Chains A and B, each alone.
Chain A
Amino acid sequence: MRRHFPPLLELTHARLREFLREPEALFWVFAFPVLLALALGLAFRGKAPEKIPVGITEGPRATATAEALGSSPGLAARVYEARAGREALRTGKISLLVEEEGGLVYRFDPTRPDARAARLEVDDALQRAAGREDPLRPRESRVAEPGSRYIDFLVPGLLGMNLMGTGMWGLGFSIVNARVRKLLKRLAATPMRRSEYLLSQMLARLVFLVFEVAILVGFGWLAFGVAVHGSLVALALVSLLGAASFSGLGLLISSRTKTIEGVSGLMNLVMLPMWLLSGTFFSWERFPEAVHPVIRALPLTALNDALRAVMTEGRPLSALGLELGVLTVTGVVSFLVAVRVFRWQ
């Protein structure tokens, strides 16, 4: 048998082994975010712009109108019998209906963006067919650069969400489980230094982190060409700080809880608002401006923003004072409070 290592190493090693021997945990930490990125990346991948469906009511000029609209690349036109045309418009099958009542009438709902686009395209096509000459003819240059796609927005968000989830669950679940099984009490009955136990839980967490970040970032790069524009060192440091910060929060949440159900509830209470508010799947700037200060103070917002700044915008750490500050304060304060109030039995 090998000789034993110092307690901090033995504890960290034990925690790592426990984690690696838990197939479900491996799935949630490593496979789940990759599958989520794959699903969302495919769902929102860049496609050729869709044609806007428009309708034409039967009448003397219907054929000519259909021909004019058919020549426009952005429109898909179809002729309807009068009642059927209104029905198609009402149910959203078409965005705009061209009717004849003396002259031409555009019937559409101006609150729908696709309807307003249809109005412009249809009018353009019909005016040109009627002989309008455009005085200005600008050239179009279309943008589809990596960095501006949804998947480029999504990957850093998923990374942040995953760092939060594994940091909090990884510590919280393992600690409360050890408390329920009275293992914490047994450990407290040895000369083990109690701070070393807490530290080992965080250290083990930081070891998984390396793989977690590498797998998700590597997958984004290989499958969707999501590049890291900033430095890898900056990415590593932001991830490390984020993971440490959420480990602290996980430690705090589990510091006194006596049941698995209790800690699950607390975890959800803390994480659910952040999933929604912190700009994982869509930008938090869509929320009313009045709540922006609150959202920006959330650690997941700070982590997501910092990861995006480094990955998509290539900004240096020095430009991320607020975000890094929020993460540091969250981590340090929760760790210190957790150590003070921690319950060993």
Chain B
Amino acid sequence: MPPHAIRCEGLVKRYEDVVAVDGLDLEVFRGECFGLLGPNGAGKTTTIEILEGLTSPDAGHVEVLGAQWSRDGHALRERLGISLQETQLADKLTVEETLLLFRSFYRKGRDPEELLATLSLGEKRHARVGKLSGGQRQRLAVACALAGQPELLFLDEPTTGLDPQSRRDLWEQVERFQAGGGTVLLTTHYMDEAERLCDRVAIVDHGKRIALGTPAELIAQLHATNVVEFATEPRLPEGQLSALPGVSEVHAAGEGWSLGVRSLAETVPALLAVVDASSARLLTLATHRATLEDLFVAKTGRKLRDA
């Protein structure tokens, strides 16, 4: 068995006036959970839909589970589980009916009864899809994606709009699927989701890959373990900040600054001393552990959510 679940090179997709995907290369290995991370409009959905065989690229080569869409499309569909962004299943059907419908499309697959139990939908089996909560709907979407016992699972923004408990439930499902030997490709704009679930992550922006690696490797690229965000009136000059002890990165963040630092204990007292000395007024001060979000800010100068 080839080690690659997905391999694509030089992927390009243009829509009328925008280049959605701009020469993207990706390799996803069997058994790993791979995350495509980026802001809205970065080209994540276009990319995943090309890999799913729903959109054809303008250029580039795609290989999924050792097969190509143009040659073995139909056979390939038997081996994939797909959850699209924003699909609304039929409101008038019940959970059980929906699952049986999807199960019927696959030659072999999982027992719907067992799937309902696994996804904690047993009690809702006779409920109409239109009456389900957002979290239950998303679990049903995943159940439908798993109905054909796929080798590779595609999840496009699986937890967008869900409450924290539903998100954790869904993460558990993904981990369980992966533990059973499955490969996962997911897109998300939640950094914590990527850090928790993904073995490797590609950060994409404007259809291009701007970073690739394990979450730990990517955060290590920041040369900082923590981030200090603050704002003063008037604004302090950049030169004064990069001279502070332990500061590895300085980025403008809105009205204020964002500093990547090795150690909070080293930098924060020094920063406060500088603020005092300059007789500026401190408006806000916050610190947090460095995340993938900070890497995105470092690479693009924008935040993920409002990018």
B77 touching A1, Cβ below 8 Å? no
B112 touching A189, Cβ below 8 Å? no
Chain B residues with CB under 8 Å of A2's CB are 100
B105 touching A186, Cβ below 8 Å? no
Scan residues 1-35 of chain A and give those whose CB is less than 8 A from a CB of chain B.
Answer: 1-2, 4-7, 9-11, 14, 17-18, 21-22
Q: Which of A14, A17, A189, A191 contacts B84 (CB 8 A)?
A: A189
B113 touching A14, Cβ below 8 Å? no
Interface pick from B15-23, B87-95, B211-219: B87-95
A4 touching B78, Cβ below 8 Å? no
Shortest Cβ gap from B168 to chain A (Å) = 25
Query: Is B179 on the interface with A (CB-CB < 8 A)?
Result: no
Bound-complex Cα distance A17 to B78 (A): 26
Interface pick from A132-140, A147-155, A177-185, A309-317: A177-185
Bound-complex Cα distance A21 to B94 (A): 11
Bound-complex Cα distance A189 to B88 (A): 14
Q: Which of A4, A6, A186, A190 contacts B89 (CB 8 A)?
A: A186
Decide: A1 near B112, CB < 8 A? Known: A181-B88, A183-B87: yes
A4 touching B87, Cβ below 8 Å? no
Shortest Cβ gap from B140 to chain A (Å) = 12
A191 touching B112, Cβ below 8 Å? no
A18 touching B92, Cβ below 8 Å? yes
The range of chain A's interface size is 20 to 34
A189 touching B102, Cβ below 8 Å? no
B77 touching A17, Cβ below 8 Å? no
Chain B residues with CB under 8 Å of A9's CB are 104
Query: Is B283 on the interface with A (CB-CB < 8 A)?
Result: no
Chain B residues with CB under 8 Å of A178's CB are 90
Query: Is A192 on the interface with B (CB-CB < 8 A)?
Result: yes
Chain A residues with CB under 8 Å of B128's CB are 21
Query: Is B106 on the interface with A (CB-CB < 8 A)?
Result: yes
Bound-complex Cα distance A7 to B87 (A): 20
A189 touching B103, Cβ below 8 Å? no
Give 12 pairs: A residue, B residue, CB < 8 Å, sorted on A: A1-B96, A1-B100, A1-B116, A2-B100, A18-B92, A18-B93, A182-B84, A182-B86, A183-B88, A186-B84, A189-B80, A189-B82
Extra contacts, 15 of them, besides A183-B90, A191-B105, A191-B107 (Cβ < 8 A), are A1-B96, A6-B104, A9-B104, A10-B100, A17-B92, A17-B97, A181-B87, A182-B88, A186-B82, A186-B89, A189-B52, A189-B80, A189-B82, A189-B84, A190-B148
Give the 4 A-B residue pairs with the shortest CB-CB distance, closest first: A181-B88, A191-B77, A10-B104, A4-B104
